[in-house]
Each structure stands twice: as C-alpha cells, then as structure tokens.
Amino acid sequence: MVEVEGNSVLALIIVFSASIILFFYYYYCYYYHIYEHHGKNIPPGSLGFPVIGESWSFVKAQREDKGSEWIEKRVAMHGTVFKTSLMGCPTVVVTGRTGNKFVFSADDESLSVKQPPSIAMLVGKYNVLELTGPRYKHVKSVVMRFLKPEAIQEYIDPMNSIMKNTLNSLKVKDSVLIVPLMKRLTFNITCSLLFGLHDEPTNDALFEDFSHLFKGLWSVPLNLPGTAFRRALHARSNIVQRVTPILKSRRKKIIEEVVNANSDMLSGLITRLSDEEIIDNFVALMVASHDTTAILLTLMVWKLARDPQIYQKVSQEQSAIIKERQEKTNGKLTWSEIQKMKYTWRVAQEIMRMIPPVFGNFRKAMKDINFAGYDIPKGWQVFWEVTQTHMNNGIFENATSFDPSRFENSSRSIQTFTYIPFGAGSRMCLGNEFARVEALTVMHHLVTNFEWSQLIPDEPITRNPMPYPSKGLPIKLKVKETSDML
C-alpha cells in the first residue's frame, strides 16, 4: 500500500514537472516566434530548448576546445549571421571582419556592452566593463590613472621582486604544474600592484573564491545545488564579505592620511565610488586583469616546450638583454629593456591569434537594429567571436601555421577588426599594456633561469571558460647554469 502511494506521488511529481516544462516551452515559442518575431526578418538559426537554449552544447564545445567548430557548423547551415540562445537570452551571432566592425564600431545607444543577466549577477552591474555614458567615462578615468604607461613603469621593480621570490621557490623543484603557478602568480601581482592587498591569508581566500567565480561565468545559468553557477554565486557572496571590511579600513586610513588615495587602484576607487560600485569594479578588474594573462603565460610555456626553435629564439633575445645590461650596469629589468623584447611579444601575439584567451563576448541591443539585412530585436544579445578572422586563410596566410613573423613589421599591416584578442574600438581592453609588460617580465625571468619540457606531450587544451592545458601543464624544470636567481 505504501509502495502504491509512493509511486502515485512520484507520478504526480513527474506529471507536474512535465506540465511546467511544457508551459514554459509553449510560452517561449509564442513569445519569441509569434509575437516578437512577427513582421521581422530575424536571422536563421535555432533558439534551442526553453530557457537553456543551446547553452549546453555551446559550453560543452568550449570545454572540448571546439568552440570554433560549434560556430563553423552553424555558419555552414545558416550563414555568417545566425540566431541562437545562450546564457538564458536569445542571441544573434555575428562573424567575420564585417561582424566585428559592426560590433566594435556601434555606439552604446545601439549596442551596449551589457552582459547576460547571469554574468552580471556574478561580476556586478556597476563595473566599468558594462557602464555607459558619463558614468563609464568617470570610472574609466580613475582606472586608467593606474594603467597608463607612466604608472606601469613603476610596477616593473615590484614585478621583479615577486618573480624573484617565485623563482627561488621553483629552483628546488624538479617539476611544477604551470597552470596553478601562473594563476597564483598573476593573482598575486594584481592584488599587490593594482589593489594594494598584501595580507596573505585574505589573498589566499580571495584566490579560492575567484577560482570558483571564473568557472561559473560561462556556465549554464542554473542556480541549483552542485552546479558551477551556484558555486560561483556563493563565491561572489564570499568576495563581498571579505572586501567590505577592507574598504572600511582603507577608507579610514585615507581620511587619516595614513594611506595616499593615489597609491593604488582600490584606494583611488574608494575616494570616488560607493562601496557597491567599488566591489563590482574590483571583481570585474580582477577577472579581466589576471586570468587572461595567466592563460597567455601558460600557453607561452606550453609552446616553448613543444617548439625548441621558438624557445631558442626567445632565449637568445632575453640573454642578449642580460648581456647588454651587465656590460653597462648590474641592475634589474627596466622599462627600456622590455621594449626590446620584440620577438618574444610576437610569439605571444601569434599564440593569442591561434588560441585566443577570450573566444568572444556579448553585447546587448538597446533598440531594434539591423545588420546584414537582418533585424535584431531590442533586448537581444549579440555575440562576436574571434576564430572566423583569426583562422581565416584569406586574412592570415597559412592560418593554421605558427608564424610570429606575421607581426614583424608595419608593412605587413593587419586589417582592423581582424586581430582582436583585446577587442577593438573604444571598448578595447583597458589593461592590454599592463598585460604585455607583465607577460614579458615573467617570461624574461623564466627563460633566463630555466629550461623545461612537458611531462605529458599530448596534453589537450580545454576551455572552462578560458583555454588551459587540461592536466595543468606539468613540466620538468632544469635550472640554467647562467641563472641569475638570488
């Protein structure tokens, strides 16, 4: 009798759940296909399942580093402009140089930088990456005070010190996992130099929180137990709880003139924004400033391990810098020396072309707009992506071949809106110069002190949501005889 009742309850639950799903499905079909689409020339494509859309297949393709194939499959079916549904919102995907130009040339009144609601919940709606108009200009002006070349030059000595400590910890090891090393290294640099955070236990806790938040950014936005999105929401809450007392203490020190308001970006934001705005920008800038650079550094180590010829050329350039320095003075790495690392940076540029840290990103239509003869309704997302230009043989000759010389001189100029690892237009990444200097500083110290080889030669690349070697890139280290470690 109990079993029958239990089965009846189970059946009722199944019927009720199915009814709810069908309700949302029919509502979805009615609203988007009948009402919203009526009389409009919407791009071809599929909106997928209710609410979830095609997010499952999109995220799965990203994790298998097959995002470009996911795009190409739909381009083959529907053309260079197609519709789908990602992160809970109907989306128009635009590809190629024309699509990039459309996105990066649009004004905020037509195509805003607003992210999907799920990402905004994690990063915060008041961060500089989403702001528009006068408020964007105000916050950007504060942030750029600490990212302009004059400020970045002052970061080189502290970066040298952080790298020396890292190298000294590595010299006693035979092997190391590069992914966690680079994530932690760039996180420490960002905490210390940009935000003036030097308390190790607090930074350790924040590092764990941000690790969970990163994984939830491009996950399927289901706030259910056990999901990456739920863990990311919890991590966001932890970050707010940890940063709030720091803001209170820092504000008090600024008022008492113990800390200069211009000493770091966090202090600069405190004097000009509310706590909610500061936290949103802290989260956004931390996401933007350290994880993408960690990716680039990881992939440079990965590439140099796989290509001895590239390693040798980078090593020769870096060794020449040390030799010239010793002939003049026995000092530390300088700004002028970083400007001489032209080949090393070309290697970085080619890596970002072939394996871009950011696969693409979202904009939001603020009004009904038109592109390539298609209507994009107000409120829909627009997604731009990089592979359709980065890996296009018509733009980059032999696109699948690794060739740093593509970036060698201005006479072989690359068309605008075709090479976009940092975006383009007025919304280009604010910290691209900081990232360049940080990456070159770290690689200088690594290459001049170590040789290395992969312990898993066939280790694949995966995206979660950024591209990393799937096993963490374990490498075998060998200290060079000419090492300059302390």
Give residue 486's pLDDT: 45
Kindly report the number of other CB atoms within 10 A of residue 325's CB atom: 16
- What value does the mean pLDDT take over residues 61-90? 90
**3, pLDDT greater than 50:** no
Query: If phi over 0 gives left and psi between -120 and 50 gives alpha, with beta otherwise, what is residue 477?
Result: beta
254 lies in a domain? yes
Query: Same domain for 73 and 142?
Result: yes
486 lies in a domain? no
Query: Same domain for 27 and 135?
Result: no
> How many domains, the chain?
2
Instruction: Let me know: does 358 contact 421? Beta carbons within 8 Å.
Output: yes
**291, pLDDT greater than 90:** no
Give residue 384's pLDDT: 95
Give residue 12's pLDDT: 58
Query: Same domain for 59 and 145?
Result: yes
Distance from C-alpha of 138 to C-alpha of 155, rounded to nearest angstrom: 24
Give residue 379's pLDDT: 92
Calculated CA dihedral for residues 138, 142, 144, 145, nearest 10 degrees: 140
Chain position carrying tokens 């995220």: 59
The angle, 0 to 180 degrees and rounded to 10, between the axes of the packed helices 228-255 and 200-217 is 140
Query: Same domain for 94 and 120?
Result: yes
Angle (CA) 469 474 475, round 5°: 120
Give residue 222's pLDDT: 79
Token reading at 297 = 């550094």
Query: pLDDT digits over 134-160, tens only?
Result: 999 999 999 999 999 999 999 999 999
Distance from C-alpha of 188 to C-alpha of 5, rounded to nearest angstrom: 58
Give residue 160's pLDDT: 92
Query: Same domain for 219 and 336?
Result: yes
Token reading at 48 = 């997928």
Residue 453's SS3 state is strand
451 lies in a domain? yes
484 lies in a domain? no
Query: pLDDT digits over 266-277, tens only?
Result: 999 999 999 999
237 lies in a domain? yes
Query: Same domain for 51 and 16?
Result: no
Pairing of strands 175-177, 89-94: unpaired
Query: pLDDT digits over 13-43, tens only?
Result: 664 555 455 455 545 544 554 445 656 899 9
Query: Same domain for 265 and 413?
Result: yes
Query: Same domain for 108 and 169?
Result: yes
Query: pLDDT digits over 366-410, tens only?
Result: 999 999 999 999 999 999 999 999 999 999 999 999 999 999 875
Range of the domain at 44: 39-479
108 lies in a domain? yes
Beta bridge pairs of residue 361: 384
Query: Same domain for 114 and 25?
Result: no
Give residue 398's pLDDT: 94
Query: Same domain for 210 and 128?
Result: yes
485 lies in a domain? no
394 lies in a domain? yes
Amino acid identity for residue 4 in this structure: V
Query: Same domain for 374 and 436?
Result: yes
Query: Same domain for 117 and 92?
Result: yes
Query: pLDDT digits over 81-128, tens only?
Result: 999 998 888 999 999 999 999 999 999 899 998 888 888 899 998 998
Contacts with 342 (C-beta within 8 Å, 6 or more apart), sequence order: 317
User: Does the annotation list 29 as a binding residue?
Assistant: no
DSSP letter for 53, please.
B
Give residue 413's pLDDT: 76
